Chain A
Amino acid sequence: MSTDFDQLVYDLAPRKFSWKGNLWVAILVVIILVGSYSYVQQVRQGLVITDMRDYALWGVYISNFVFFVAISLVGSLITAILRLSGIKWSTPLTRIAEIIAVAAIIMAGVTIIIDMGRPDRMLNLFMHGRLQSPIIWDVIVITTYLVISVLLLYYPLLPDFSILKRHAPESARVRKWYSGLSLNWVGNSEQRRIYSRSIKALSILIIPVAFAIHTVTAWLFETTYRPGWDSTNFGPYFIAGAFVAGAGAVVAVMYVLRKTYRLENYITDFHFNKMGKTLVLLCLIYLYFNINEYLIPTYKSTEEEAVHLQSLFTGQYATLFWTAIIGGLVLPVIILLFPQGRKPLPLFLVSIAVVVGAWWKRYIIVVPTLSHPFLPIQGVPESWRHYSPTWMEWSITFATLAAALLIITLLVRFLPIIPIHETSEERGLVDAAQTK
């Protein structure tokens, strides 16, 4: 049996949580429980517990939904695009990206249900849905993307499950699970042939679906005639933003996992350097779209657009807007242009700024527009003119974010963070047990 291979399995096999891991899970569960309490109140009392009213009818929930959809795009970026491009350095990051994508798309679906005043009527979407409506397109494409993401996570795990069922330092019951999930993988030529073809097909398939999920989400806004959303640029603008958010999320998670599981030999400074450069490119592309999205409406300054833009540039939302643009895009680009900025810790801090900025950017896209409709707001209570999420909305929103992190945490607990099989192949290591 190869010693190097055993060391590799030892390094990369999932491990039980330390007390820190358990504390982390406990904190997430508490946040989820608080959010669940608020959600029960929302189901019992209705959306009146939120600050959403006739005008701001999409609030923090939809902002959060768009954020999750954005984050989920990373699965296609790291896994599919880099895989199809023949880039090998991304191997240690693929599993992380796939896990993030699955967690994010699950929570995107959950968030949409949370936004529904009557979730018990969700079935009506499928029974009476109209193909003319972008909402239905979104439902279809999210479901499709979820299935493909799960398949893309699962397929590369087959050889790993096979390795883990023999080598993982786990209980017999967990090994039995690994054995079942490995689908009798022995790595023979037929299995490898189907496996390789399937992963290639999935990598190709996920790209248009990933683009579609974000384009359709953009269309939800574009097809609604409102200041700030009346753009033909929204599809690529959203996709560009999603790549930024997703890449930021991957960097943040890979830093934490590297630190927690001492994976410095596998996720190296080289990977951070590459991801840092990728992030710069993505931020610059997104900045380009932002300039398009804000410069031209500012130049034209139609009455309603001018009011909307004023609220972003100098008005009520100026702090958020400039923080998201400068803190979440411009400064990261400047920092990451320097090699020192692409070291793990600075890049981690930058990625956190990028992800937080990306979340607020979605909020800025959703809420200010709804506060400035084309028709004047008249004859309604003063409180309806402004939107400020209630604590219950925040608690539910934080619960969804915590739930996404919990899904990632639990998947990390039972799945190898770095593909063992692929890494062993790249390093020329052979599973002695398999060669017998």
Chain B
Amino acid sequence: MLGSVLAYAQDKKYRARVSLQYTKIMDKESYIGISAKYKGKDGFDQASDLEFSIYKVDQNDSLIYLGKVKTNENGKAKFLLAADELENEEATVFNYIAKIENNERFEDGETSVSFSVANLTAKIEMIDSVNQISAVLTDASGIPLQEVPLRVGLKRLYGSLQIGENRYETDENGSILIPLVDPMPGVDGNLNFEVVLNENDTYGTIKAMVNAPIGVPVVEESTFDERTMWSPPTKTPLYLLIFPNLIILGVWLPILILTFNLYRISKSKTQ
């Protein structure tokens, strides 16, 4: 899956280290992920704003130009494959090449990736009063893939929370069955699980998502609208408005009276 760019001597140009990864998210998209870096003066840096030309290698080994993609500031790019790109093909192995061509900062080079198509389905079902997540992995022709490690996770804001073991191997039916015993919190009780075949040498990365309202609804504990010790002045707790102000009034009222008494003294001259 990894390839390195062929080097050609060119003055003052960097040699990019590029890796390609095929990823398929079931019922959503397939893409080739590109990650590029180079060895700069102070070690490796991400190769940002680096343009790649993407080609498909057909069965006659001729290249079919698909398009261009540029890396972001983290040196990563994502080239989406058209939905019909991997369908109705007689071939079982697909080859793609990413080329650096006529770049001002980097040497020309190319990296290739090969993969076969597989499918992964996942669903939540209730067995013996316990929610279970089941997943089936098959190849393009629907034949179950055995003894392939899958990972199950719960999608969270910044990543995936592992469910159960680190990996589960598919059985002779290409399936796994994982019980979801522990209660898990989710917004409105919704949980987004993912079953992942991760960076497989043959099939790349495949993810199947499944959403189920089986979580414990998250109760928002925001105190934004409440009167708290950390609120702005408009939302001061009532007791802190009432008692200190009563004390202030209790002190300042006599002060005002005592100040007025000075006036009374000045007017009592003739009495």
Which residue numbers of A lie inside 8 Å of B, CB to CB?
Answer: 128-132, 137, 140, 144, 147-148, 151, 154-155, 158, 183-186, 188-191, 194-195, 197-198, 201-202, 205, 208-209
CA distance A188 to B254 in the complex (A): 23
**Residues of A contacting B231 with CB < 8 Å?**
130, 132
A-B contact pairs, 21 of them (CB 8 A): A130-B231, A131-B240, A131-B241, A131-B244, A132-B230, A137-B244, A144-B251, A144-B255, A151-B258, A155-B258, A183-B266, A188-B269, A191-B268, A191-B269, A191-B271, A194-B261, A194-B264, A194-B268, A195-B265, A202-B258, A208-B251
Q: Of A130, A137, A144, which is within 8 A of B232 by CB?
A: A130
B271 contacts A190, C-beta separation under 8 Å: yes
Residues in B whose Cβ lies below 8 Å from that of A130: 231-233, 236
Q: Are B236 and A131 in contact (CB under 8 A)?
A: yes
CB distance from A157 to the nearest CB of B (A): 11
**Least distance between B185 CB and chain A CB atoms (Å):** 29
Q: Is the CB of B236 within 8 A of A132?
A: yes
- Contact status B240-A132, CB under 8 Å: yes
Binary per-residue interface labels of chain B (230-271) against chain A in the complex, 1 for a CB within 8 Å, 0 otherwise: 111100110011001000100110110011011011111101
Is the pair A198, B229 in contact by a Cβ cutoff of 8 Å?
no
Q: Are B269 and A186 neighbours in the complex by a CB distance under 8 Å?
A: yes
Given known A-B contacts A130-B232, A131-B233, A184 and B258 have beta carbons under 8 A apart: no
**Residues of A with C-beta under 8 A to B252:** 144
A129, A191, A201, A205: the one contacting B265 at CB < 8 Å is A191
Of chain B, the residue at the smallest CB distance from A144 is B251
Task: State A213–B241 Cα separation when bound (angstroms).
Answer: 19
Give chain B interface residues in 51-98, CB to chain A under 8 Å. none
Which chain B positions have C-beta within 8 A of A190?
Answer: 268, 271
Q: Are B265 and A151 in contact (CB under 8 A)?
A: no
Q: Given known contacts A148-B255, A154-B262, A184-B269, what 20 new A-B pairs fall within 8 Å (CB)?
A: A128-B233, A130-B232, A130-B233, A131-B240, A131-B241, A132-B229, A132-B240, A140-B244, A183-B262, A184-B267, A184-B268, A188-B268, A188-B271, A189-B271, A191-B269, A201-B258, A205-B251, A205-B254, A205-B255, A205-B258
Max chain B C-beta neighbours (<10 A), residue from A130, A147, A148, A151: A130
Please measure, in the bound complex, the distance between the C-alpha atom of A183 and the C-alpha atom of B244, giving whole angstroms: 34
CA gap between A129 and B244 in the complex, in Å:
14
Chain A residue with the shortest CB-CB distance to B256: A147
Q: Which residue of B lies closest to A205 (CB)?
A: B254
CA distance A144 to B258 in the complex (A): 13
Smallest Cβ-Cβ distance to A186: which chain B residue: B269
Question: B209-242 vs A: 1/0 string, CB under 8 Å?
Answer: 0000000000000000000011111001100110
Q: Say yes or no: A183 contacts B271, CB within 8 Å.
A: no
Size of the B side of the interface (Cβ < 8 Å), in residues, is: 26
Q: What is the bound-complex CA distance between A320 and B271, given in angstroms?
A: 60
Chain B, Cβ-Cβ closest to A147: B255
Q: How far is the CA of A151 from the CA of B265 in the complex (A)?
A: 14
Given A132-B240, A202-B258, answer yes or no on A184-B266 (Cβ-Cβ < 8 Å).
yes
Question: Which B residues are CB-close (under 8 A) to A148?
Answer: 255
Given the complex of chains A and B, what is the CA–CA distance between A190 and B236 in angstroms?
45
Q: Which residues of chain A are within 8 angstroms of B262 by Cβ–Cβ distance?
A: 154-155, 183
Min Cβ gap A121→B in Å is 16
Docked CA distance A158–B268 (Å): 13
Complex CA distance for A191 and B231, rounded to whole angstroms: 49
| Complex CA distance for A129 and B233, rounded to whole angstroms | 7
Which of B240, B251, B265 meets A183, CB within 8 Å?
B265
Residues of A within 8 A of B269 (CB): 184, 186, 188, 191
Instruction: Please determine whether A151 and B255 come into contact, CB atoms closer than 8 angstroms.
Output: yes
Alpha-carbon distance A158/B248, docked complex (angstroms): 27
Say how far A138's CB is from chain B's closest CB, in angstroms.
Answer: 12
CB < 8 Å neighbour of A198 from B240, B261, B266, B267 = B261
CB distance from B190 to the nearest CB of A (A): 37
CB neighbours of B248 from chain A (8 A): 140, 144
**How long is the Cα–Cα vector from A154 to B251 in the complex, in angstroms?**
18
Q: Which residues of B contact A158 (CB under 8 A)?
A: 265
**Contact residues in A for B271 (Cβ distance below 8 Å):** 188-191
For A189, what are the chain B residues with a Cβ–Cβ distance below 8 Å? 271
Closest to B236 in A: A131
Give chain A nearest CB distance to B263 CB in angstroms. Answer: 8
Q: How far is the CB of A352 from chain B (nearest CB, A)?
A: 35
A132 B237 Cβ-Cβ under 8 A: yes
A195 contacts which chain B residues (CB < 8 A)? Answer: 265
How far in angstroms is the closest Cβ of chain B from A197? 8
B254: min CB distance to chain A, Å: 6
Please indicate the chain B residues that have their CB under 8 angstroms from the CB of A129 in the complex.
233
In whole angstroms, what is the CA distance A140 to B246 when docked?
13
A147 proximity list for chain B (CB < 8 A): 255
CA distance A198 to B256 in the complex (A): 11
Give 9 closest A-B pairs by Cβ, nearest first: A183-B266, A184-B269, A190-B268, A190-B271, A132-B229, A198-B261, A184-B266, A191-B268, A131-B236
Residue of B nearest to A137 (CB): B244
Which residues of A lie under 8 Å from residue B240 when comparing CB positions? Answer: 131-132
Question: Measured between alpha carbons, how far is A184 from B252 in the docked complex, in Å?
Answer: 25
The distance from the CB of B191 to the nearest CB of chain A, in whole angstroms, is: 35
The interface centre, meaning the residue of A129, A132, A158 with most chain B CB atoms within 10 A of its CB, is: A132
What residue in chain A is nearest B268 (Cβ atoms)?
Answer: A190
Contacts of A183 in B (CB 8 A): 262, 265-266
Which interface residue of B229, B231, B232, B268 has the most chain A CB atoms within 10 A? B268
Q: Which of B237, B251, B255, B265 contacts A184 (CB 8 A)?
A: B265
Query: Once bound together, how far apart are the Cα atoms of A246 and B248, in whole Å?
Result: 26
Task: Tell me the bound Cα distance from A251 to B264 in angstroms.
Answer: 36
CA distance in complex: A129, B269 (Å)? 44
